[in-house]
Amino acid sequence: MIIKTPYYLINEQRLLRNLNIIQQIKESSGAKFVLALKCFATWGVFDLIKKYLDGTTSSSVYETRLGYEKFGKEVHAYCVGYTLEEIKEVRPLAGKIIFNSISQLTRFYPYCRGTKLGLRINPGISYSKFDLADPTRPFSRLGVLNKKEILKVLPFISGVMFHFNCENDNFENFSNNLDRISKVYGNILDKLDWVSFGGGLYFTKKEYPLIKFCEKLKKFSRCFNIQIYFEPGESVISESAELVTKVVDIVRNKINIAIVDASIESHMLDLLIYRSQAKIKNTGSGKFKYMVAGRSCLSGDIFGTYKFNSCLKIGSTIKFSDAAGYTIVKKNWFNGLKMPSIAIKRLNGEIDLVKIFTYTDFLNSLS
């Protein structure tokens, strides 16, 4: 099948590698996993993912509804700040609602009777290479710090969430932080049924010490007689997708610059936010050096600088790898650029073109 660029291509076979690791952790540790829709919400592959994960977790009403309608297993709902109208929408859909503050919990508790409720705790520790993504940065609004206040509302909740990691592939760091949480919050965990450790742990990375990880989780769970949840995003879909583009022009300003028919601001926004370079496989030792840039009017719309094995020309294909997490969910219509289609390479090798965006989509996103 020939698909017009640009397009995201999700490979189910690569996705399956991560899912098999998660299944191994579930069986060995007893932990449960709910997909973080804020990172990845392409429901065209939910039929595969839900065979391995226990449900979804959301950050808004729309994500909650998507998890309920398209995934169909456990639905966890969290939002930094709910309105009463939103709580009334979320309550029939979610099995668990996690509040960000005690004021939200006490305000909306009367409207959530019969639903399992949780509270986000700010443990004062975190792992993040980026201040922008650090959940316990100074003056963080994310979660409750005051332990005495948490103890007062224990009768209202059945679980808590500690989200304190971002791209953490260091098991020792996680293990040490888990020990600290056990020590500081043990008298709270003893009275609860479940605890979520959020997302941001890269346990599907090659050579991650899975046996140690599972043993640590099992020990923690038995110590407090509590169900552990994780809310992975990128660990589920890491290395499973590409953004496929074509070169539309080559210009020179001291270096060769290849302009592709996509945009980092519109189609891989997270890389622009965190000043990271897009990944291209099999580059680095070639003789032909190019800066690869997008075609928006933003001067900093640059994917990165690479060394290719052959000379690029107009029509050359460039595939940006690891393009699933925080890309499709953040794509936008800046400059009115054509939005990438979404295609899925199924387990049987067939390519399924599941979405083509048109001018009508652009028109209807405005008013």
227 within domain boundaries: yes
Helix and strand numbers (H, E) in the chain are: 12, 16
Q: How confident is the model at residue 176 (pLDDT cuts 50, 70, 90)?
A: very high
pLDDT, residue 340, reads 98
- State whether 233 and 314 are in the same domain: no
Residues 158-178 have a mean pLDDT of: 95
- State whether 198 and 144 are in the same domain: yes
- Compute the distance between CA of residue 119 and CA of residue 143 in angstroms, rounded to an integer: 8
Angle at 340 between CA 337 and CA 346, to 5 degrees: 175
* Block residue for tokens 């879909």: 237
Q: How confident is the model at residue 337 (pLDDT cuts 50, 70, 90)?
A: very high
302 within domain boundaries: yes
CATH code at 149? Answer: 3.20.20.10
- Compute the distance between CA of residue 293 and CA of residue 148 in angstroms, rounded to an integer: 52
Last residue of some domain: 175, 210, 237? 237
Residues 57-78 have a mean pLDDT of: 98
pLDDT, residue 179, reads 97
Residues 191-197 have a mean pLDDT of: 98
6 within domain boundaries: no
Residues 49-53 have a mean pLDDT of: 98
1 within domain boundaries: no
- State whether 186 and 285 are in the same domain: no
253 residue type, one letter? N
8 within domain boundaries: no
Q: How confident is the model at residue 284 (pLDDT cuts 50, 70, 90)?
A: confident
Q: What single-letter DSSP state applies at residue 310?
A: S
- State whether 252 and 223 are in the same domain: no
pLDDT, residue 283, reads 81
Asked if pLDDT for residue 129 goes beyond 90, the answer is: no
62 within domain boundaries: yes
19-47 pLDDT per residue, tens = 999 999 999 999 999 999 999 999 999 99
Measuring CA to CA, which residue among 187, 186, 181, 188 is closest to residue 163?
A: 181
Count how many domains the chain has: 2
Q: How confident is the model at residue 282 (pLDDT cuts 50, 70, 90)?
A: confident
pLDDT, residue 321, reads 97
Residues 183-198 have a mean pLDDT of: 97
Centroid of chain to Cα 358: 26
Q: Are 245 and 260 in contact (CB under 8 A)?
A: yes
Average pLDDT, the chain: 96
- Compute the distance between CA of residue 73 and CA of residue 88 in angstroms, rounded to an integer: 20
Question: How many other β-carbons are positioned within 10 Å of the β-carbon of residue 325?
Answer: 22
Residues 118-123 have a mean pLDDT of: 97
2 within domain boundaries: no
pLDDT, residue 110, reads 96
Asked if pLDDT for residue 271 goes beyond 90, the answer is: yes
Residues 7-25 have a mean pLDDT of: 98
Q: Provide the domain limits for residue 66.
A: 13-237
pLDDT, residue 286, reads 87
pLDDT, residue 1, reads 77
The sign of the torsion formed by the CA atoms of 101, 102, 106, 111 equals positive
Three-state helix/strand/coil letters over 61-114: HHHHHHHHHHHCCEEEEEECCCCHHHHHHHCCCCCEEEECCHHHHHHHHHHCCC
- State whether 220 and 247 are in the same domain: no
- State whether 213 and 321 are in the same domain: no
Q: How confident is the model at residue 228 (pLDDT cuts 50, 70, 90)?
A: very high
Residues 6+ apart with CB under 8 A from 31: 25, 217, 221, 228, 229, 230
- State whether 219 and 289 are in the same domain: no
CATH code at 301? Answer: 2.40.37.10
207 within domain boundaries: yes
Q: What single-letter DSSP state applies at residue 304?
A: E
Query: Could you write out the DSSP letters of every residue in 257-275?
Result: EEEESS-HHHHSHHHHHTT
